[in-house]
Amino acid sequence: MISSAITLVRLRWTLTLATLRKSAWQTVAYVFSAVLAAGTIIGTGVLAWFIGILPPFTVNADGFPLNILGSGGIVNIVVVLVGATMTIFIGFIQLMMLGEGSTMNPRKFALYGIADRNLQFGLLLSGLSGIPALTGVASLMLWTLAYRHMGPAVIISSLLAAVLAVITMMSISKLLIALSTTLVTSKRGKGAFYIFIVLTFVIICQLPNILVNSGVAFSLNTETWGAATTIVAWTPFGAAFQLPFDALTGAWAVLLARIAILAVTWIVCFAVCTWCLRHERLTIGANSPSETAKGIGAFAWMPDSASGAVSARLITYLKRAPRQAMTFAMPVLFLIIFAFQAHGISAVVWQSLIWCGWFMSVVESNGLAYDGRGFTMEVIAGVRGRTDRIGRVRVYVGIMVVYMVLLYLAGIVLVGALTGRWAQPDDLVTGLIFLAVGMGVALSGLGVAEVTSCVLMYPVASMDKPFSAPQGRAMAQGFFP
């Protein structure tokens, strides 16, 4: 098993170096990633150094002692809760942005007869040898500087916790990817699951703002946060970050129990990933649902012209592609989130119309890459570019007008429910102003997107595998519109 895993690690870096030699853009992206990694490591070390200067205990404004660096103190609470949140976020980001990858995809090794367990262990080890994992280990090890005055036992346990935390993050990420690609097999199921994951991630990201703006965060005292920390520290997400504080108090039995929790988590994740790999190999292509075409869909009622055919094809793709449908759900989610944070101010709700206009143009910003073979057939047929743009604009303008009017009506209901004033003229006029601004943003953004989608394209996941990650997508998506 060890020799196979080492071979896969060497293969991973060999393929990476080969890609860098043949692609200048990949080299630029890799250098940029290395710079970000170095900045993360240095920033963590500097922050840890200054935190280590703080006194272990101090006195608050009311004259009561305040625990800062001790067990159950402020640093303990922040480290465990932030570390657990970071573990969950990394799992979501790995699932949404990176997916199962294209370099070390398990399907590429199906013909080589590698045992499932050996292959899974090698893929896990190759993931731990990448820049993100090495950056995480180095950063968490430098975080030990915050505990430099607490004794050698705390320092050693902190260094150990850095490695254990990264292994846990990688194991959970591999588990999420394996489950998402194995258990959800139908196109409709993958689409619904993709939309659910992305929307859940956005809601989690907005929770701090909702808690702060609603005043809930300020109503929680240190005891409440401490109780939450105690619970999280017994989960795989926060156990590793509690180890230095267990060593500080001499709770060695508790420390060993938390390490056991982490070890069991690795074993379970590894076993489930291996089962998913074996299950996918045995059932791939089996019981594939047959699809029966019912009519010609949008082609029946769109204009009988080349631009009408382009519009019909685009409508068909939008109905089937969860990758773009998720973007249409964002404005509704923002409308609900802003309503929770409005505090009776209607303009906070109405601003969602502007965000809606921006999201409408985001859908088309990489439109040709989503078209795939449909656009290839269009080029072979000799369709003019002007005709293609007219066909696409026709669809998106129609969606924008209907969507934003419905969002305006929903805003009227929410503003009335929040302020107690239903359909007042000043509220309606304010909403119309925001609707006009949002429509202007949508139309101008669509015009820009019709240009950028032709010259600034980046790879996208296929319709069948929305969680996959073609090479170059993550970096290009960060720079391109």
Q: Which residue has the higher pLDDT, 395 or 295?
A: 395
**CA dist., res. 437 & res. 71, Å (int):** 52
User: Residue 452's pLDDT is what?
Assistant: 82
pLDDT tens profile 111-137: 677 787 888 888 888 888 888 899 999
Confidence of residue 382 (pLDDT cuts 50, 70, 90): confident
| pLDDT above 50: residue 34 | yes
**Domain-wise residue ranges, the chain:** 2-283, 297-479
pLDDT of residue 474: 56
Structure tokens at 425: 């003229």
Give me the torsion for CA of 136, 142, 145, 146, rounded to 10°. Answer: -20
Residues 298-306 have a mean pLDDT of: 81
- Mean pLDDT to the nearest integer, 412-439: 83
SS3 412: helix
| Each residue's pLDDT tens digit, 230-262 | 999 999 999 999 999 999 998 999 999 999 999
Write the secondary structure of 350-383 as one string of H (helix), E (strand) and C (coil): HCHHHHHHHHHHHHHCCHHHHHCHHHHHHHHCCC
In which band, very low, low, confident or very high, does the pLDDT at 338 lie, cut at 50, 70 and 90? confident
Residue 437 has pLDDT above 70, yes or no: yes
Burial 235-245 (b: 16+ CB within 10 A, else e): ebbbbbbbbbb
Q: What tokens were used for 318?
A: 């939008």
Percent of the chain with pLDDT over 90: 22
The band of 286, judged by pLDDT with boundaries at 50, 70 and 90, is low
The mean pLDDT value for 103-110 works out to: 68
Which of helix, strand or coil describes residue 59?
Answer: strand
End-to-end CA distance of the chain: 44
Number of other residues whose CB lies within 10 A of the CB of residue 451: 11
Per the document, the length of the chain is: 481
Residue among 148, 127, 133 nearest 45 (CA): 148
Each residue's pLDDT tens digit, 169-181? 999 988 888 887 7
Residue appearing with tokens 């659910």: 196
Q: What 3-state class would DSSP assign to 58?
A: strand
- d(C-alpha 260, C-alpha 245), whole Å: 17
More confident residue, 313 or 366: 313
Which range has the worst mean pLDDT, 5-19, 280-294, 378-392, 405-419?
Answer: 280-294
State the alpha helices, DSSP H only, in 183-321. Answer: 187-214, 216-219, 222-232, 239-249, 252-283, 306-320
pLDDT of 284 > 90? The answer is no
- The overall average pLDDT reported for the chain is 81
Q: How many other C-beta atoms lie within 10 A of the C-beta of residue 171?
A: 24
Q: What is the DSSP string of 303-362?
A: -SSHHHHHHHHHHHHHHH-HHHHHHHHHHHHHHHHHHHT-TT-HHHHHTHHHHHHHHHHH
59 pairs with which residues across the strands? Answer: 65
The pLDDT-based confidence of 481 (bands split at 50, 70, 90) is: very low
Please indicate whether residue 360 or residue 211 has the higher confidence score (pLDDT): 360
Q: Which pLDDT belongs to residue 359?
A: 81
Q: What is the pTM of this model?
A: 0.75
Give the burial class of 26: count Cβ atoms within 10 A of its Cβ; 0-12 exposed, 13-18 middle, 19 or more buried: middle
Question: CA 168 to CA 198: how far, in whole Å?
Answer: 22
